[in-house]
Amino acid sequence: MADGNGNFERVQGATVIVGYHRDKTPLMVENLIAGQDGDEKIILLATSKNIEIPEGVRLIRAERLDALQSLKRAAITGAQKVLVYASTDAETFNTCLAIRELNSKVHIAAYFEDRDTARRSGKLANIEPVVSNACESLVRAAQDPGSGQILMALSTAGFGATIYSAIVEADKPTGTSMLEQSLRGSDGTLIAVSQPDDKEFVFRPFPKELNSGGSIYYLANKRLNADDISNGLEGSNVRITV
């Protein structure tokens, strides 16, 4: 087990990290735990021989990241979420397709160097692609001193305010002004919304209503629970999924 030869195929609700980077993986684990999103069971699937396993993380060692049997051993079939950060964009893309073959519903976030590959992968594999915005952040830091540090802080859980999301379901559309007020009462700030049938994010000015199944994105010092968000909402049987 310690050498990565175990089998966690029967584990349900795990957070699976696919790919290992000595400098970045420990930080990813640290942010997952700080994000307070139920990441108690973290499994790392890696091909590297020299691995420093963060405390509490279970290891699966494989020859290839996109091998179906290895992904099964890493509990992909019952995973809650998956983070893919392979050595190349091609390996990342192939791995995402393999994961989709095993689990059609799990949320996959994957890192890409190339924007076109990221866009293509998001469409074909139904994943959330992430591309480095270092160039944009550098320009913001140069034009507006301090903004680069703020952007970094907003992406780091446990360090000041961080971006969180939640899904809003109700018997009828929910007013965004009411959502803003409810979040404000729990020290949260609404920054964007997305309708269930549209992947585009809408920033202020927000639409008057959010349809059932839509998502809200807010800034807060910690993840708010469902009651924190719904306390100020009235009627229409509103249900919050965090």
Per-residue confidence (pLDDT) for residue 99, from 0 to 100: 97
Provide the residue ranges of all domains of the chain, joining segments of one domain with +: 15-132, 162-241
Round the average pLDDT of the chain to a whole number and report it.
90
Q: What percent of the chain has pLDDT over 70?
A: 98
Q: Which of 110, 101, 124 has the alpha carbon at shortest distance from 16?
A: 110
Whether pLDDT at 236 is above 60: no
Asked if pLDDT for residue 80 goes beyond 60, the answer is: yes
The predicted structure's pLDDT at residue 91:
97
Q: Is the dihedral of CA 177, 179, 182, 186 positive or negative?
A: negative
* Model pLDDT, residue 235: 58
pLDDT given for residue 86 in this prediction: 95
Over residues 136-156, mean pLDDT: 85
CB under 8 Å to 65, separation ≥6 — which residues? 18, 19, 45, 46, 47, 71, 84, 86, 91, 95
* Residue 234 pLDDT: 66
Q: Do domains 15-132 and 162-241 have the same CATH topology?
A: no
CB atoms within 10 A of CB 223: 19
Tokens at residue 31, please? 């942010």
Q: What does the DSSP assignment read for 173-234?
A: -EEHHHHHHHHHHTT-EEEEEE-TT----B-SSPPSEE-TTEEEEEEESS---HHHHHTT--
Task: Identify the three-state secondary structure at position 83.
Answer: strand
CATH no. for 15-132: 3.40.50.720
CATH 3.40.1350 holds for 162-241 = no
Average pLDDT over residues 115-137: 91
* Prediction pTM value: 0.84
- Cα separations (Å) of 32 from 17, 38, 156, 220? 10, 9, 10, 16
